[in-house]
Amino acid sequence: MTDLTALTITAAQDGLRRKEFTAVELADAHLTAMERARGLNAFVLETPERAREMAKASDARRAAGNARPLEGIPVAVKDMFCTQGVRTTACSRILEPFVPTYESTVTSNLWRDGAVLLGKTNNDEFAMGSSNETSCFGPVISPWRRKGANTHLVPGGSSGGSAAAVAAFLAPGATGTDTGGSIRQPAAFTGVVGLKPTYGRCSRWGIVAFASSLDQAGPFARSVADAALLLRSMAGHDLKDTTSADRPVPDYPAAVGRSVNRMRIGIPKEYRFDGMPAEIEALWEKGRAWLTEAGAEMIDVSLPHTKYALPAYYIVNPAEASSNLARYDGVRYGLRAPGGEVIDMYEHTRAEGFGKEVVRRVMIGTYVLSAGYQDAYYVHAQRVRTLVKKDFENCFAAGIDAMLTPATPSAAFGVGEKSSGDPVEMYRNDLFTVTVNMAGLPGIVVPAGLDGQGLPLGLQVIGRPFDEETLFSLGAVIEKAAGTFAPERWW
């Protein structure tokens, strides 16, 4: 039998359909791979019993002729998604003992469609970070290494565990959340496909809240077609999330392979920054050539407020985070540190339960929302956000169908390289991704090449609201031209 962990979702579906293997065998192959890869620290909880039980039920449904769209497909779930009866921590000490009594809408949609839970993946604490180094379970090690070196690299963040699991063949697909780039940046660092849908496309219900006006769930996979399959199941209207969109879910997989002839692709000049590595510029150029060859037209556009997006994001994001995290008081969830008076108990619990980056966000958020400063910071940042969004709207109104940009300012960096010094160093990683969250737009990252050190680099395509289909069509063109990339196994 072929190595079942090497299969894409699409190939695994074919094999299951043809009865070449069972869902239980498929799950077992991945569980074994996970066990061997524990050194990567991609999973914070493996759920082998649950996986086998779900796979068995899946095999029974198939045998009865009731196969569903993702029947028997194993997936890894970021530890930001509440999973009923399965510990969910957001990788924070404050939620360490938390076992939800409910299931997030996105994951229950996956189970409804026949998918199988392999385990919960590591992430930055409360999804705050770009390297997966703020997790209370320790960093994730990327399966990628620089040519001829064995320095441990970060997989990106905050969904570093999901990205590493998919890149290292521990799962064919995974869920992530993206508030400022947390799906797209790790996808770029690990050479996999990652998509952040339009705000409202996936329900946020049952996902640990970080910055509610920016958070969106989305898929990781090793092909554009697989990402489309996963999104079709994850997306949809949900009465439990008033910001989820009441619109039908298109047949995303049908958009893969569709012609992009005559599409008008915007090339935003503000995404070229001083000191941009030549390799990133060259990759972008290649992307333009591939899309041109497929019949699309490249048009230089301007998004003049781009440079304000990152600073505005780092006001809006902590503001929302500080109010969302007010609920962790030692009473309602998770950890409680004893103290004399109730206020002491709150303070001890939060001091013990939250890591450094979380404390920083709570402090900044509380400051920018405090009386006297709110207008100068928070209200101002919201105005900037509107301008960032308008820049995109103007381009789309002028007939631009999508934008092509680099995904990240560099390839993956080393563990510890950026986490000890100035936090702004880390925040700069989100340069090309936060604009998309600020504007509520969909964005896909597709692996597009390797740098001189053999590390993956990605390209990003940003689309009109609710036009994920165009992203899948354009993403498939890039994928076809660039090929796919996998790390050499050393773990």
| Residue 182 designated active-site | yes
Residues 313-352 touching ligand GLN, rule: CB under 6 A, are 317
Under the binding rule (CB under 6 A), the answer on residue 460 touching ligand GLN is no
Stretch that binds ligand GLN, among 2-10, 103-111, 176-184, 452-460 (CB under 6 A): 176-184
How far are the Cα atoms of 48, 126, 331, 354 from residue 133, in angstroms, in the given order? Answer: 26, 12, 28, 14
State the DSSP code for 207: B
Residues 102-121 touching ligand GLN, rule: CB under 6 A, are none
Torsion of CA 277, 281, 287, 289, to 10 degrees: -150
**Closer by beta carbon to ligand GLN, 191 or else 365:** 365
CA torsion sign for 190, 82, 428, 434 is positive
First and final C-alpha spacing in the chain? 23
CB of 485 to ligand GLN, least distance (A): 23
Q: Out of 106, 115, 127, 154, which residue is the one contacting ligand GLN (CB under 6 A)?
A: 127
Size of the site for ligand GLN (CB under 6 A): 14
Residue of 135, 182, 203, 322 marked catalytic: 182
**Closer by beta carbon to ligand GLN, 74 or else 156:** 156
Stretch that binds ligand GLN, among 86-94, 111-119, 173-181, 250-258 (CB under 6 A): 173-181
CB of 237 to ligand GLN, least distance (A): 23
Q: Out of 13, 92, 107, 158, which residue is the one contacting ligand GLN (CB under 6 A)?
A: 158
Helix axes 9-17, 23-36, angle to 10 degrees: 140
Q: Are 221 and 191 in contact (CB under 8 A)?
A: no
Q: Are 392 and 131 in contact (CB under 8 A)?
A: no
Cα–Cα distance measured from residue 17 to residue 97, given in angstroms and rounded to the nearest whole number: 40
Q: Out of 58, 88, 130, 233, which residue is the one contacting ligand GLN (CB under 6 A)?
A: 130
Instruction: List the x/- string, 418-437, binding to ligand GLN by CB under 6 A.
Output: ------------x-------
H-helix or E-strand spanning residue 31: helix 23-36
Three-class DSSP labels, 53-117: HHHHHHHHHHHCCCCCCCCCCEEEEECCECECCECCCCCCHHHCCCCCCCCCHHHHHHHHCCCEE
| Residue 158 designated active-site | yes
Under the binding rule (CB under 6 A), the answer on residue 178 touching ligand GLN is yes
CB of 456 to ligand GLN, least distance (A): 19
Q: Cβ atoms within 10 A of the Cβ of 343, count?
A: 9
Stretch that binds ligand GLN, among 162-170, 171-179, 322-330, 440-448 (CB under 6 A): 171-179
CB of 365 to ligand GLN, least distance (A): 12
Q: Out of 119, 181, 355, 442, which residue is the one contacting ligand GLN (CB under 6 A)?
A: 181
H-helix or E-strand spanning residue 118: strand 116-121
Cα 21 → chain centroid: 30
Residues 203-222 touching ligand GLN, rule: CB under 6 A, are 210
Under the binding rule (CB under 6 A), the answer on residue 182 touching ligand GLN is yes
Cα 144 → chain centroid: 18
Stretch that binds ligand GLN, among 122-130, 242-250, 323-331, 417-425 (CB under 6 A): 122-130
CB of 158 to ligand GLN, least distance (A): 4
H-assigned helices in 305-428: 306-324, 342-353, 356-369, 380-397, 423-427
Q: Cβ atoms within 10 A of the Cβ of 326, count?
A: 13
**Closer by beta carbon to ligand GLN, 86 or else 208:** 208
Buried b (16+ CB within 10 A) or exposed e, 179-206: bbbbbbbbbbbbbbbbbbbbbbbbbbbb
**Closer by beta carbon to ligand GLN, 92 or else 130:** 130
Q: Smallest Cα–Cα separation from 287: which of 211, 188, 421, 353? A: 188
**Closer by beta carbon to ligand GLN, 73 or else 140:** 140
Under the binding rule (CB under 6 A), the answer on residue 59 touching ligand GLN is no
Q: Out of 89, 179, 198, 349, which residue is the one contacting ligand GLN (CB under 6 A)?
A: 179
Q: Out of 27, 33, 110, 128, which residue is the one contacting ligand GLN (CB under 6 A)?
A: 128
CB of 182 to ligand GLN, least distance (A): 3
Active site residues: 158, 182
Q: Which positions touch ligand GLN (CB under 6 A)?
A: 127-130, 158, 177-182, 210, 317, 430
